[in-house]
Chains A and B, each alone.
Chain A
Amino acid sequence: MLFNSLHFLLFFPIFCYLYLTVAKKHQWKILVAGGYYFYGNFSPFFAIILFIITCNDFIAGKMMDKIQETSKKKKWLFLSMAGNLGILFTFKYLDFADNNIRELLAIFHIPWFVPEPYFNNWVVPVGVSFLTFQSLSYTIDVYKGITRAEQHFGYFASFTAFWPVMVNGPIERAKNLLPQIKEEHRFDYDRMRQGLFRIAWGFFKKVVIADRLAFYVDDLYLHYNEISGWTTILGGFFFFMQVYCDFSGYSDIALGAAKVIGIDVMENFKRPLFAKNLADIWTRWHISLSTWLTDYVFFYLGAYKASGKKVIFNVIFVLAICGLWHGANWPMVIAFTMVGVFMAIRYWWQANVLRVIKPSNSYKLFDKYFPDWMHSVVTVSLFVFCFLLFRVYTAQMMLNAQHPTAQVSWVTIAKEIYGNLFKLHTAGYFHAWMIHKGIVQFIVVVFFLIALIVIEALIGDEKIERVVLVKNKTQRWMIYIVLLICIVWFGIFNNTTFVYFQY
């Protein structure tokens, strides 16, 4: 079920009514039923996958709790990991692995026994990466002793089937979610107001900004050989903002929906546009994934405690994993690895050069005249530069499906896009944008983008619903009305899916 669908508009109030009125002992049942209905609505098969993941991790957690011996505990942990990662690998990475093995063997003229394309048509369960990572964090935490194993299957099933975050994050941790699930939740006017406002804000970002930007972003990749110079730069920024508004919009709706039913979920975005460096951007962008990778991969590798070279490797490696999590294709892996390389360069610069030059007067002068907003511009520009690769693979699939006789490789698309990017004396295809989409559409989308940036600058890192709800009644109502009008009048409502659904 999509958040931006009529189905959800009916589902949500019915769910809230049932959940907030039944006796405490039955509330988990409503959560589980709601979760399986929500997820099974995509396909009943997905609900079966969810059930398997739940059983696997519940049993592993319970066994680890019983056993004191670390080696035996480890076996259960591996079993849980094998289950989760096995599902993830089977549905998401098998085709990618198959293709790569085939291509590698072809170099040596060795035939590969799997017929082509064999795994290509396997349906990837929606949000499987989120589901498995959330569930996996539970067993790792139980193994490490951070969380006690849940003894009640119903509560654990509510945790894995917690529908607001199930398919698109934030990737919640058991230690935060499980205790809240066990509490009694009743209708609370203040929470309801906050939650509903947050949902509306999420919808604004999704249907007004992200879906309107999609017009231009689609063109950026479909007309990759015509778009150049400033149009590529603008298109790249539009793409960055599209993904940000789409994904953070989903997170806002998830947070708001959870808030309405009395549960606080972790924040997933904190104004990434205002990040001052690439390391900072990861504390603001998809926070639940970056903290997951930091906690379970980066720290496992030794984090910053290792030697200089090892740290550089760790940073790049974690970002490459992050890329692989986002998509089973090389452009995605390379995009994130590039971010990792930039981050590693920054680390090296800070460790070896900045330490030396920081006390000097010239550096102080530079620091004085290079304000925060310029740091943000450079950071976002670097991020956008890497991000251009993010959608190359999807574009390749789309183009090849449209023109089966003229197949194009992702390398060609990437080469063209990056090659055209630096033709700064041109703005290829901009005129076509204006003709095809109309100047009014362009003005509308730019207006809302600027409005979003200004609002984010004004509210700072505070939660938007808190900023709004402390205002006086007249101001509050004005904000409600304007927000509602913007969503309803300027939104796009033809059931477009969320970009991150595929992960």
Chain B
Amino acid sequence: MFKKLFQNKSVVKTIRNIGILLLILLVVSNIVRLMLPFYWGDATQTVKYEYYEKHKEQYNAVYIGGSLEYRHINPRIIDSIAQKNGLDFHSFNLGIDGHGIIQEMRDLDGLLEIENPNLKYIFFSISSEVYFFKANLHTPKWVSWQSAPTMLDALKILPSLNDPLKYRTKMGAFWISSWVENIFNIGTVPDMLKFYLDKSYLDSSYVGKNKDGHYPYDYEEYHLFMEYKWEDTLLLESRHRFEKGDPYTDTMNNQILRSFEQYKPDTKPNKAMVDLCMNAYKKCAKKGIQLIFMLPPKARTSYDLLLPVFNAMPEGTKISLADIRKYPKFYSIEYGYNFHHLNEKGANLLSEEFAKQLVPLLKSQLQIN
């Protein structure tokens, strides 16, 4: 029947014409997108990256990651401890809410394109797999940064995860559809125009009180200016539940404890994720930049998956703050904001602990060099 259909010249002509139209659309869409920076779709990221670009020469270190970095890592504390120990260390927090490992890779590529001769260290968070909030779908925040390599990276990791096949297939389809949305600029042009013509939606407070890219959730709550209203609601609800001592906290903490207790050094890490991180490592090394991996506390993703990947990274390039046995305070209600985030007090404590591991690590590297 197919053969018969394609013998019909009109059918072939129709399909050819539709193909030509789509090709033209693809070309024009990509030309338009070339004029935009990779971070244009996310207001927070725009504010932070534009600030960084303007002041890049002041910094020799940056942190890349999601909210676990944005809300937790206080560069002012880390810089001051490092400097007290005689290190030339000036850092900026480029963590963005919701960014998982794939988006971090995109951030890294974008960051490396921004010429900064002073940049020596990039801190890269290992805290997620390739799943994401469905509510992000079809938003410029999600669609704008997609590319063929990021989609392929996600598709490489998905088969090796342990979740049901149906769920992983669905997620794979979402990754593909998001990429298609990106290459054809599907529904995103009004936001592109907004990016060019009306910057009033950008809020400079995202850079943080100290202009170092760090903004704890405690302040966010007073401001409530997140890009999407549902995020605000989610944020408040999650804090109330957490403070009321929701049993999920215990479940989560027990799971994390079990992950660390049951971890065996010979556990096979997820190969696709290791390859991804090592690629990032090599990319930075080529540019003379040291990539340092971080394992933050309170991740949504199971540490059963994260811990082996983190431990597979080269020695002397790792900072881990996730072990509940070593850092029980990070998992307590006193230092927490909600289930997966610390409050300002917790963020400051984490930054101090971070610096404690960073100083010997950098000193040993300096000695090697």
Contacts and interface: CB of A to CB of B under 8 A. Distances in A.
Contacts of B197: 439-440
Contacts of A17: 1, 5
Contact of A438 (B21, B177, B188, B201): B201
Contact of A484 (B4, B21, B201): B21
A441 B190 contact: yes
Interface stretch (A104-112, A223-231, A461-469, A489-497): A489-497
Contact of A491 (B28, B187, B193): B187
B211 interface: no
Interface in B142-198: 177, 181, 184-190, 193-194, 197-198
A488 B185 contact: yes
Contacts of A21: 1, 4-5
B24 interface: yes
B209 to A, nearest CB: 24
A353 interface: no
Interface in B194-212: 194, 197-198, 200-201
B24 A481 contact: yes
A256 B189 CA distance: 27
Interface in A439-470: 439-441, 444
A17 B1 CA distance: 9
Contacts of B201: 438
B138 interface: yes
B236 interface: no
Contact of A490 (B25, B177, B189): B189
A113 interface: no
Given A440-B194, A488-B186, A494 B4 contact: no
Interface residues of B, number: 30
B11 interface: yes
A444 B190 contact: yes
Contacts of B194: 438, 440-441
B25 A493 contact: no
Contacts of B8: 187
A117 B135 CA distance: 32
Given A440-B197, A493-B138, A484 B187 contact: no
A490 B190 contact: yes
Nearest to B5: A21
B311 interface: no
Given A189-B14, A441-B190, A444-B193, A489 B29 contact: yes
B193 A492 contact: no
A188 B10 contact: yes
B78 to A, nearest CB: 37
A411 interface: no
A6 B25 CA distance: 19
B12 to A, nearest CB: 10
B13 interface: yes
B10 A189 contact: yes
B187 A489 contact: yes
Interface string A1-44: 00000100000000001000100000000000000000000000
B4 A187 contact: no
A488 B13 contact: no
A365 B150 CA distance: 71
A485 B28 contact: yes
A187 B25 CA distance: 26
A178 interface: no
Interface string B11-30: 10110000001001100110
Nearest to A193: B14
Interface string A205-229: 0010000100000000000000000
A489 B33 CA distance: 12
Contacts of A196: 14
A329 B167 CA distance: 41
A297 interface: no
A97 interface: no
A188 B9 CA distance: 10
Contact of A192 (B5, B10, B186): B10
Contacts of A193: 14
Nearest to B177: A6
B187 A492 contact: yes
Nearest to A200: B21
A211 B24 CA distance: 25
Contacts of A488: 25, 29, 184-187
Nearest to B139: A494
Interface in A416-454: 435, 438-441, 444
Contacts of B190: 212, 440-441, 444, 490
A480 interface: yes
A17 B137 CA distance: 31
A489 B188 contact: yes
Interface in A400-425: none
21 contacts: A17-B5, A189-B10, A189-B14, A192-B10, A196-B14, A207-B187, A440-B190, A440-B193, A440-B197, A441-B190, A444-B190, A484-B21, A485-B28, A488-B184, A488-B185, A488-B186, A489-B185, A489-B186, A490-B189, A491-B186, A494-B137
Given A187-B11, A440-B194, A444-B193, 19 more contacts: A6-B177, A17-B5, A21-B5, A187-B5, A189-B14, A192-B14, A193-B14, A196-B14, A438-B200, A440-B197, A440-B198, A481-B24, A484-B21, A488-B187, A489-B29, A489-B186, A489-B188, A493-B138, A494-B137
